[in-house]
Amino acid sequence: MKLAVNIDHIATLRQARAAREPEPVLAALLAEQAGASGIVCHLRGDRRHIQEIDLQLLRKVIITKLNLEMAATEEMLKIAREVKPDTVSLVPESPDEITTQGGLEVISQKSHLTSYIQELKKVGIRVSIFVDPLENQIKACQEAGANLIEINTGKYAEAQTEEERQANLEEVRQAVAFACRLGLQVHAGHGLDYHNVQPIVDIKEISELSIGFAIVARAVMVGLTQAVREMLELLQK
């Protein structure tokens, strides 16, 4: 299973002091050298972590795949069509959330998303939708023309009891199987860490995990190279 490293929180640390360091581009290069298959960043409307200049520099220097997470707004469409990341991941965004809360509500905005996705595809960008493990939402992703989906593992990761965790894991399993039957490529992510990732790794139809916070948090203690390698070891099991 491949690992895409989300470097948003390298930029969060830098923005905490409006400083020059730590540098997200350097983090991306180190993550690639350690074996990551892709780099993910989320350009938020409020620019709380990643800035447009980061995105432009990342596009120039990374040699794996660049995945830009963004809301499906006109502003972001313009930026994505200029920068041309390999993949755009459409996510919901609300200004007062600490992190992305849940998958995108696809059904109610299917016609908007269908034309939006077409505009991205026209310039050669693959489009992913971050979606909850729900069959009707996943079906709507396919109908809107997404190339792939990223199943939200947040509910699984945040489960308070073992029973809840198992139930949420089963939901993820079923959703992955359903998406595969529809012919969608399946990624997963959100809230995954060194302790909870293994059952997700065991779902072999998932081709890639997108992990950010846990890797950056460990990197503060052991360095980014080691943090990425330790996660990769778990993904290879």
Tell me which of 150, 175, 200, 219 binds ligand PXP, using CB under 6 A: 150
Q: What residues from 51 to 80 belong to the interface with ligand PXP (CB under 6 A)? A: 69
Is residue 99 close enough to count as binding ligand PXP by CB under 6 A?
Answer: yes
Looking at the annotation, which residues are catalytic? 42, 69, 190
The nearer residue to ligand PXP, 175 or 214, going by C-beta atoms, is 214
Least distance between ligand PXP and beta carbon 185 (Å): 15
Is residue 137 close enough to count as binding ligand PXP by CB under 6 A?
Answer: no
Give the DSSP H/E element, type plus range, for residue 138: helix 135-144
**Read out DSSP for 80-109?**
HHHH--SEEEE----TT-SS--S----GGG
56: closest CA among 21, 83, 86, 22? 83
Least distance between ligand PXP and beta carbon 121 (Å): 19
Do 230 and 194 form a contact (C-beta atoms < 8 A)? yes
Using the 8-state DSSP alphabet, how is residue 3 labeled?
E
Give the DSSP H/E element, type plus range, for residue 53: helix 52-61
What's the rounded Cα separation, in Å, for the pair 124 and 87?
9
User: Interface mask (CB under 6 A) for ligand PXP, residues 154-193, using x and -?
Assistant: -----------------------------------xxxx-
Least distance between ligand PXP and beta carbon 119 (Å): 20
Is residue 24 close enough to count as binding ligand PXP by CB under 6 A?
Answer: no
Q: CB under 6 A: which stretch of 18-26, 55-63, 72-80, 205-213 binds ligand PXP?
A: 205-213
Q: How many CB atoms lie within 10 A of CB 179?
A: 26
At 38, give phi and psi (nearest 5°).
-170, 165
The residue ranges that bind ligand PXP (CB under 6 A) are: 6, 8, 42, 69, 89, 91, 99-100, 130, 150, 189-192, 210-214
